[in-house]
Amino acid sequence: MTRPASIAALAPIMQMAFVPTDFEGALRYWTETMGVGPFFLMENIRLGDMTYMGEPTDAVFSVAIAYWNDIQIELVRPDNDGLAHYSGQYGVRDALHHTCHVVEDIEVARRAVLDAGGTVVVSGKVGEDGRVFYADPGFGPGGLVEYIQLGAGGAELFAMMRDAATSWDGSDPVRKLG
């Protein structure tokens, strides 16, 4: 495994994520004012083997994802009080919460973040073979970075969302998945 020169060299930003106080209002803002959509809603997400600051957590959350050109916009809605990247000291609301980067090797990304003095806030599994972690590289609340190693079907799911955005006519702005 090759070690990257810096955290920024791990992968480009593919997503900007927000944790809005008013989830429905944020969806209206992004779809009606910004013209971004359609959003794909995935509810009651539980990461496999999820930990917060190294301890197991039963956090449940929902996300709505859309594409603004090549950038993914994610809106996060906590669904319970379980500790997670969007609560506690990292509970930033109504501002940029984190960026996301797709990496080929999650362990290389983890080592780079830890070697730079960062803290792994949340980690877990996505589906059967995907893995994710959220880290604070030192910026603190509002500066978290998500690294995800996509599992089977992940790239195709994101491609479907991106393709839907290219021909979106403003109808059916929020579409439930799952």
Query: What is the structure's pLDDT at 178?
Result: 78
Query: What is the structure's pLDDT at 174?
Result: 98
* Domain chopping of the chain, boundaries: 15-172
Q: Among 2.40.50.100, 3.40.50.1820, 3.10.180.10, 3.30.470.10, what is the CATH number of 15-172?
A: 3.10.180.10
pLDDT in tens, 123-132: 999 999 999 9
State the pairing for strand pair 15-18/71-78. Answer: parallel
For the cut 70, the answer to whether the pLDDT of residue 2 exceeds it is no
Q: pTM, whole model, 2 decimals? A: 0.95
DSSP secondary structure of the chain? -PPPSSSTTS----EEEE--SSHHHHHHIIIIIS----EEEEEEE--EEEEETTEE----EEEEEEEETTEEEEEEEE-SS---TTSGGG---SSEEEEEEE-S-HHHHHHHHHHTT-EEEEEEEETTTEEEEEEE-SS-TT-EEEEEE--TTHHHHHHHHHHHHHT--SSS-EEEE-
pLDDT (mean) for 68-81: 97
pLDDT in tens, 117-174: 999 999 999 999 999 999 999 998 899 999 999 999 999 999 999 999 999 999 999 9
CA distance 85 to 82: 10
HSE-up of 51 (CA within 13 Å, CB side)? 11
